[in-house]
Amino acid sequence: MTKRANAKYKIDRRMGENIWGRPKSPVNKREYGPGQHGQRRKGKMSDFGLQLRAKQKLKGYYGDVTEKQFKRNYLEASRMKGDTSQNLIGLLEQRLDMVVYRAKFAPTIFAARQIVSHGHIYVNGQKCNIASRRVIVGDVISLGKKAQEMALVIEAQSLPERDIPDYVAPDGNDKVTFTRVPKLDEVPYPVTMEPNLVVEFYSR
């Protein structure tokens, strides 16, 4: 198992929730935190602690996006019209690696990022290997020829634990169109996300 896989499941145990809804998550067997002191009783969390936890969970869900990228998304969301927390979710869902994950071209967000960076994804017919690229409404995302035969992609398409959401319209098995920027309640999170606490965290 790679270092990355171990670390990604550590986020699950740290949060005490199966944040991707994966059947392999260790939280399903051990509901206490990781490490030597994981089974200790937890004290009451401060407001800051709750805000930080909400930020770590959202950031972790999107494949542990770097703090720099995540904060940039927040700053942009705060400059846009409307509710900052809704805007933040919209911007995160517009990432190319996220659209690839939503389209079930990859079993995990980490695999989706790898498929993009290895040059297997095309946006409007042009190869794109930048995972953080912003997808706009109407963009067509397709799999390269080689990727269509990859075991990883075939496995992802048959996963029972998640469905393709309404804002990603499939066209066959190898192509999707991004139809609209979703709102928080349209995004199929397996656990409750609290972007309003993330906004509070950054606006302290």
Domains of the chain: 3-92+189-202 (1.10.1050.10), 95-180 (3.10.290.10)
- Separation between Cα atoms, residue 169 and residue 172, nearest integer Å: 10
- The pLDDT mean for the chain works out to 84
CA–CA–CA angle 137, 167, 99 (5° rounding): 75
Confidence of residue 53 (pLDDT cuts 50, 70, 90): confident
Q: With 0-12 CB in 10 A as exposed, 13-18 as middle and 19+ as buried, what is 71?
A: middle
- Separation between Cα atoms, residue 101 and residue 58, nearest integer Å: 16
Which residues on neighbouring strands pair with residue 142, listed in sequence order?
122, 175
| Amino acid identity for residue 25 in this structure | S
pLDDT at 57: 87
Other beta carbons within 10 angstroms of residue 141's beta carbon come to 23
pLDDT at 195 exceeding the cut of 70: yes
- Separation between Cα atoms, residue 49 and residue 15, nearest integer Å: 12
- Separation between Cα atoms, residue 19 and residue 25, nearest integer Å: 9
pLDDT at 2: 43
Confidence of residue 79 (pLDDT cuts 50, 70, 90): very high
H-state helical runs in 103-169:
109-117, 145-148, 151-157
pLDDT tens-digit readout, 151-183 = 888 888 888 877 899 999 999 888 999 999 999
More confident residue, 38 or 74: 74
Average pLDDT over residues 119-128: 94
- Separation between Cα atoms, residue 197 and residue 199, nearest integer Å: 5
Global pTM reads 0.82
Average pLDDT over residues 14-27: 61
- Tell me the residue ranges of DSSP E strands in 107-199: 121-123, 126-127, 140-143, 168-170, 175-178
Confidence of residue 145 (pLDDT cuts 50, 70, 90): confident
